[in-house]
Amino acid sequence: MFISGIQKLSLLDYPEKVGCTLFTSGCNFRCPFCHNSSLVLNTAEHIPTDEIFAFLYKRKGMLDAVTVSGGEPLMQNGIEDFIKDIKALGYMVKLDTNGTNPTKLEKLIDDGVLDYVAMDLKNRPEKYSLTAGVDVNLEDIAKSVAVLKSGKVESEFRTTVVKEFHAVGDIAALAAFYRPHKYFLQCFKDSGELLCDGLSACSEEEMLSFEQEAKPFCGTVSLRGI
């Protein structure tokens, strides 16, 4: 396991839980607007796993949940045992994923070690690879969506909306194709550590318009970050 970041207290990452967030290194996407470029490129210093578990052990009873984010956590060879060890400490576990490994995702769900999953949906199928920065196997994305929509685990879908990548009609087409049951549109923010420069956020008015576009195709749609 390669862990390169830890947020020791988070009230936002796991819905309605007090938790912490662990950030794995490495990602198979190169989204230009990614705010964790050092994690994606695996250039950040790694934190020893025993230090992670020492922290989690000390916080038992004070934290409810652990979010495993990235990067892309399902790229990690030891992710299954890592999550099982977190669960063994009594924590609820949320996984953030880009959905490119539906087989590993489904096995973790079937093993009962995930309590919540958040999956990113990058864009409508025709613009998915452009937005992800690499050629994406859309069949894997669709399989992961189907796994989560089966209802075996509580889950949500989310899209980071960037003016340069999401135009009028894109969010509607995305929502119509994948039909997410719980969908969040996140307003892009420049963290100062982006993979590419020159990107910008949509206005509140534009975000509200995208929300209305998606609503006919989703169970619920909400905005974040505006």
- DSSP per position, 72-126: -GGG-TTHHHHHHHHHHTT-EEEEEE-S--HHHHHHHHHTT--SEEEEE--S-GG
Which residue matches tokens 């409508």?
A: 124
Reported pTM: 0.95
Q: Low-confidence residues of the chain, pLDDT below 50?
A: none
Q: Per residue in 14-41, pLDDT tens?
A: 999 999 999 999 999 999 998 877 777 7
What's residue 200's pLDDT?
A: 92
Q: Which residues contact 205 (CB under 8 A, 6 or more apart)?
A: none
What's residue 194's pLDDT?
A: 74
* Bridge partners, residue 159, by sequence: 185
What's residue 114's pLDDT?
A: 98
Q: Are 218 and 183 in contact (CB under 8 A)?
A: yes
Q: Per residue in 146-171, pLDDT tens?
A: 999 999 999 999 999 999 999 999 99
Domains of the chain: 3-224 (3.20.20.70)
What's residue 183's pLDDT?
A: 98
State the DSSP code for 201.
Answer: P
What's residue 38's pLDDT?
A: 77
Nearest to 26 by CA among 11, 9, 38: 38
What's residue 12's pLDDT?
A: 85
